[in-house]
A and B are shown apart, each in its own frame.
Chain A
Amino acid sequence: MDIRFSGVSKIFYPDITALEDVYLEIPKGEFVYLVGPTGSGKTTLLRCITREVAPTRGQITVGSFSLRKISRVDLSIFRRDIGIIFQDFCLLPHLNVFENVAFVLEVLGAPPREVKERTGEILDQVNLWRRRFLYPPQLSGGEQQRVAVARAIVNAPSVLLADEPTGNLDLHTAEEIMQLIISINALGTTVIMATHNQYLVDAYRQRVIGIRSGRVVRDEKRGRYNLDGEL
């Protein structure tokens, strides 16, 4: 799904400008890093795509969906094609690894057999099959994030949004997660990843969009995290 931002601004009451006049075009299958200091507007931009945040001005289209006016049912249908990885994992502590991943397919009404097979495949892919009966508090940070990745991709979404997916992880684990996300992108999923991890951005060179004070300050095809002291 192509993603298009046309003159998008978001002002939180009373006068906090989170995004200002953002124009963006992200074609299907692209991998994009969003970089910028804390509070620059990266998360707001991602949340505009999931329509957790509605722009004050401008228009966002994702595939055939115009997010300016979308019914609740259409929003549900739209969100089924978006996978989200949160920095703090957002796993359900009372469900085990298998149930946390299977939950998405159950919610979407998949038949029990498909839920079992598909969840098994994904857990195998993220090397968590042997830990499927453990609960989130029993897992390491890296393992929890891998569960979060598995949950985000289990229904094969067209777009994967990752908000600081390696923020709480050591470099080795962060690389493992990164490899996983790269492999998902290789299958045709559009990936937008907000990150502060300079090492990963520079090691896995992709399109880099720099944001500062809600404005897009740079957009490079195969950029680096920090160029000459700038973003």
Chain B
Amino acid sequence: MGSFKYTFRDAARLIVRHWGLSLLTILTSMAVFYLIGASVLLVLNARHIVGVLEGELSIQAYLATEISADILLPRVRALPHVTKADLVTKDEALKRLRDRVLDSRIPDIVTLLDDNPLPPSFEVWVDRADNVESVANDLRAISGVSEVVYAVEVAQKLAKFSSFAGKFSLAILIVAITASAVVLFNTIRIAVYSKEEEIGIMLMVGATPTFVAMPFVIQGIILGGLGSLGASVFLALSYNAITESIKELLPFLPFLERGVVVMQLGVILVGAGGTVSLIASLVAVETFTKRAMKPL
């Protein structure tokens, strides 16, 4: 009980005694954790958008005749990476064209068609954008399929964007976590050196290294925790504003809903802040006490 009280009282003293440094550390870790949170949100949204767009990305495999369609459909569905495949009959294709053209400003064009010239086709959906090309090649290999049409560039760009967003965010995550660890490590190290004499006396009267380390570790966790908590609050406030302004420019982009995602991310950020602070503080104090207890 006495140790507990001492630890927290001393941690509070450390924060107050170096209030300027404490504030700077909180602000720095807040900025760093904001960056981490923002990059995580970027990845999550990129994946979400890619996922939604991938779901809408389909391959059109045109058939030479409608006769073989029922035989070929199970083969198409059995292809790897195919999540769904439907037959679009000649009549259905014409209906779709009519609907589409009637919506446009030149509806009369359809009335000019006496006979239905549209071929039957399979409409095929795949699991991921980067598998579109291989599925298209498999479809071409099926006899009876005369032509395969898909948005090559869209598929390739989506796949590239998804991969780039993942790598970019991972790089930001590593840099940001390292930066926050270094900032916290230095703050704790300065606090440790400011109490060098006191720690020396503590170790001489029989305090264990763990006991000596505890106030600094608590100090680190409080500073890192406050920084990440502040970052979570700012992230929640700014996320809505940012997504709303992007939606105004690009209304078709489907963003993740704010509430759940930011709340979960906030919990993760505070946890990460606490963990990084704990490790950085432990390393800073441990290095010092190890050296202080080493005999000459």
Mark each residue of chain A from 52 to 64: 1 if its CB lies under 8 Å from any CB of chain B, else 0: 1110000000000
Per the bound structure, the CA–CA distance linking A78 and B295 in Å amounts to 15
Complex interface: chain B residues within 8 A of A110 (CB)? 2
Q: Tell me, yes or no, whether B271 is within 8 Å of chain A by CB.
A: no
Per the bound structure, the CA–CA distance linking A187 and B47 in Å amounts to 76
Complex interface: chain B residues within 8 A of A51 (CB)? 295
Task: Give chain B's interface secondary structure class.
Answer: helix
Q: Tell me, yes or no, whether B261 is within 8 Å of chain A by CB.
A: no
A52 B295 Cβ-Cβ under 8 A: yes
Select the stretch in B28-36, B65-73, B87-95, B204-212 that faces chain A. Answer: B204-212
Tally B residues with Cβ within 8 Å of A: 22
How many whole Å from B104's CB to the nearest CB in chain A?
Answer: 82
Beyond A51-B295, A52-B295, A54-B295, whether A108 also contacts B206 by CB under 8 A is yes
Select the stretch in A33-41, A69-77, A129-137, A189-197 that faces chain B. Answer: A69-77
Beyond A73-B208, A107-B6, A107-B202, whether A112 also contacts B295 by CB under 8 A is no
Q: Taking CB as reference atom, which chain A residue is nearest B212?
A: A107
Q: Tell me, yes or no, whether B108 is within 8 Å of chain A by CB.
A: no
Name the one of A47, A82, A107, A111 contacting B211, with C-beta atoms under 8 angstroms.
A107
How many whole Å from A192's CB to the nearest CB in chain B?
Answer: 15
A53 B204 Cβ-Cβ under 8 A: no
Number of CB contacts from chain A to chain B under 8 A: 71
Mark each residue of chain B from 190 to 212: 1 if its CB lies under 8 Å from any CB of chain A, else 0: 00000001100111111111010
Name the one of B205, B207, B209, B296 contacting A52, with C-beta atoms under 8 angstroms.
B296
Complex interface: chain A residues within 8 A of B201 (CB)? 90, 92, 103
Name the one of A54, A77, A90, A114 contacting B206, with C-beta atoms under 8 angstroms.
A77
Per the bound structure, the CA–CA distance linking A115 and B197 in Å amounts to 22
A76 B5 Cβ-Cβ under 8 A: no
How many whole Å from A45's CB to the nearest CB in chain B?
Answer: 13
Complex interface: chain B residues within 8 A of A76 (CB)? 203, 206-209
Name the one of B6, B197, B211, B296 contacting A92, with C-beta atoms under 8 angstroms.
B197
Q: Taking CB as reference atom, which chain B residue is nearest A83?
A: B205
Per the bound structure, the CA–CA distance linking A47 and B209 in Å amounts to 19
Q: Tell me, yes or no, whether B268 is within 8 Å of chain A by CB.
A: no
Q: Tell me, yes or no, whether A12 is within 8 Å of chain B by CB.
A: yes
A79 B296 Cβ-Cβ under 8 A: no
Per the bound structure, the CA–CA distance linking A84 and B206 in Å amounts to 11
Complex interface: chain A residues within 8 A of B207 (CB)? 76, 107-108
How many whole Å from A82's CB to the nearest CB in chain B?
Answer: 8
Q: Taking CB as reference atom, which chain A residue is nearest B209?
A: A72
Within 8 A of A (CB), among B241-296: 289-290, 293, 295-296
Q: Tell me, yes or no, whether B174 is within 8 Å of chain A by CB.
A: no
In this complex, which of B201, B203, B209, B211 has the most chain A Cβ atoms within 10 angstroms of its Cβ?
B201
Instruction: Report the 9 A-B pairs with minimum CB-CB distance, sorted nearest first.
Output: A80-B206, A54-B295, A79-B206, A107-B207, A109-B3, A76-B208, A106-B6, A53-B296, A104-B205
Between-chain CB contacts (< 8 Å), 13 pairs? A72-B289, A72-B290, A73-B209, A80-B206, A84-B205, A103-B201, A106-B2, A106-B6, A107-B6, A107-B205, A108-B206, A109-B3, A151-B205
